[in-house]
Amino acid sequence: MGRPPADQPPTLTKRKDVLAIIVCYDTCEWTRDTIARIPAARGYDVLLIDDGSTDGTADVLRSGGLPVLLHRTNRGLGAALKSGIASALDLGYEAVVVLAGNGKDDPAEIPRFLDALAAGHDYVQGSRFRPGGRHRNLPLGRHLLIRAHALLVRLLTGFPATDAVNGFRAYRLRLFRDERIDVWRDWLDRYEFESYLHCKVLTLGYRVTEVPVSKTYPSPRRGLRYSHIRPVVDWWRILSPWVMLKLGLRR
């Protein structure tokens, strides 16, 4: 399937059926908090991924007592997710839950995704806008873009999306054995990956649902960068799979 190996594969032993993949990149200040919120008693295994951080994030992950997968250089979000998913496939997991290690997502909410998977869904999208979800310090401009993107997804697919760019998600691994879904190509190494997969599952008849989650951004008073997503360039990366697939320029 053309899956690239990790620079440093994890020492991971399968104990549960679901693997939680937590992706980090230059998030040292928030990663400690994310790891601290992972419950000791849990119904899933955990894999921490560092995508070539230069700020000490990898050292934080190594000290967390959990399996760690390292990229020597920054390859992109899609490439990090591919590495984690490839590990899960190789070890025989049934599903993965993916979330960010930057403090925005709460590991305590992972059971919501497990419940949705247990109910038979193949793809579970976290939403800060569903009843029971919430968000803090979400910049107004980003709020409007997220809402507009969800409207576009509704128009293109008929699925009642409320938050189609939230990276807190769960995938049943049989998706990646479907020959109509090919996530292993290089053009999906960055923000394109999640949009490509989202479009595919919504148009191929898989069972999809949303679950409410919280999303917490850094307080603007602290003057911290709230996202690695760059205006225009990376928003096009997020939108381009929808355009390419709908026009038949990609498959």
Q: Residue 142 is part of a domain; what is its CATH number? A: 3.90.550.10
Query: Which tens digit of pLDDT belongs to each residue from 131-171?
Result: 999 999 998 988 999 999 999 999 999 999 999 999 999 99
Instruction: List the domain range (segments joined by +) for residue 212.
Output: 18-246
* Residues recorded for the chain: 251
If you average pLDDT over every residue of the chain, what do you get? Answer: 92
* Confidence (pLDDT) at 3: 59
Number of domains in the chain: 1
**Quick one: angle between helices 233-246 and 140-157, nearest 10?**
0
Task: Report the alpha-carbon distance of residue 76 to residue 111 in Å, rounded.
Answer: 27
User: pTM for this structure?
Assistant: 0.92
Is residue 46's pLDDT more than 90?
Answer: yes
Residue linked to tokens 């917490």 = 216
* 167 belongs to a structural domain: yes
Query: Which tens digit of pLDDT belongs to each residue from 205-240?
Result: 999 999 999 999 876 555 455 567 777 688 889 999
pLDDT interval class at 241 (50, 70, 90):
very high
Task: Report the alpha-carbon distance of residue 106 to residue 36 in Å, rounded.
Answer: 10
* 231 belongs to a structural domain: yes
* 115 belongs to a structural domain: yes
Is residue 92's pLDDT more than 60?
Answer: yes
Phi-psi category of residue 65: left, alpha or beta, with phi > 0 → left and psi -120 to 50 → alpha? left
* Confidence (pLDDT) at 132: 97
φ, ψ at 130 (rounded to 5°)? -70, 155
* 10 belongs to a structural domain: no
pLDDT-above-70 percentage for the chain: 92
Task: Report the alpha-carbon distance of residue 87 to residue 19 in Å, rounded.
Answer: 10
Give the per-residue SS3 of 111-160. HHHHHHHHCCCCEEEEECCCCCCEEECCCHHHHHHHHHHHHHHHHHHCCC
* Confidence (pLDDT) at 1: 44
* 145 belongs to a structural domain: yes
* 13 belongs to a structural domain: no
Among 103, 141, 108, smallest CA distance to 235 is for 141
* 40 belongs to a structural domain: yes
* 2 belongs to a structural domain: no
